[in-house]
């Protein structure tokens, strides 16, 4: 039952990130769009949903079976982003989203090493955002602590595996290469997300 909850919460989180992607594509100003994208992560954190990039950093503080939860979460995120993309493709809003094809083209035209490095940086920022939300007692700090790292990773062109699950689904570009790139992004996000907590576990007593 717990694993089913994790999967369902992963799906809902994926839909939340999809909504963030939808609003980002709907806004002409990329800076404003990058901030509004943060509604996805805020939703995930506020309702304690399951988002892979928000959970991977805490692997070092958990037992090995936490890895199973991460796999379930990743699968749920994939399903959620796909369902969000499938739904929006059947609305009039989709007609405004020609930019998603260019987004997918740029990401899939990049080298695997570049994608991995960009995903590492995104993973670092995702951990920063999630940990600020979890550890701060001030509501304003929580919100700012989420929105700024999210905005920075988007404007910097860093790679977020779950967001890209949505973009690839919306653009309809799934094939062996795009799935492989999602795996590379997932590994990069994982490495990046583990850097700060691993250092804290080793050096902070």
- pLDDT tens for 31-64 read 999 999 999 999 999 999 999 999 999 999 998 8
**Its pTM surpasses 0.85:** yes
Residue 195 contacts residue 122 (beta carbons within 8 Å)? no
**Domain ranges, residue 26:** 2-203
Question: Looking at residue 76, which CATH number applies to its domain?
Answer: 1.20.1080.10
For residue 200, the Cα-to-chain-centroid distance in whole angstroms is 23
Residue 15 contacts residue 84 (beta carbons within 8 Å)? yes
Q: What is the DSSP secondary structure assignment for residue 137, as one 8-state letter?
A: -
Q: How far apart are CA 198 and CA 205, in angstroms?
A: 12
Greatest CA separation found in the chain?
Answer: 55
Measure the CA dihedral 149/6/120/165, to 10°.
Answer: -90
- pLDDT tens for 81-132 read 999 999 999 999 999 999 999 999 999 999 999 999 999 999 999 999 999 9
Total number of domains in the chain: 1
């Amino acid at each position: 039952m717990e694993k089913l909850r994790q999967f369902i919460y992963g799906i809902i989180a994926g839909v939340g990130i999809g909504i963030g992607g939808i609003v980002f594509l709907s806004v002409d100003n990329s800076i404003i769009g990058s901030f509004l994208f943060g509604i996805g992560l805020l939703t995930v954190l506020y309702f304690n949903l399951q988002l892979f990039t928000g959970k991977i950093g805490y692997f070092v503080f958990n037992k090995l079976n936490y890895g199973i939860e991460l796999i379930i979460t990743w699968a749920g995120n994939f399903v959620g982003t796909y369902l969000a993309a499938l739904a929006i493709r059947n609305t009039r809003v989709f007609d405004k989203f020609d930019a998603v094809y260019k987004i997918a083209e740029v990401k899939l035209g990049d080298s695997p090493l570049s994608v991995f490095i960009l995903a590492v940086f995104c993973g670092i920022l995702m951990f920063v955002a999630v940990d600020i939300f979890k550890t701060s007692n001030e509501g304003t700090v929580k919100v700012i602590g989420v929105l700024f790292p999210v905005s920075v990773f988007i404007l910097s062109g860093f790679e977020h595996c779950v967001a890209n699950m949505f973009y690839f689904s919306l653009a309809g570009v799934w094939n062996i290469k795009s799935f492989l790139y999602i795996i590379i992004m997932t590994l990069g996000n994982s490495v990046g997300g583990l850097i700060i907590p691993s250092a804290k576990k080793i050096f902070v007593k």
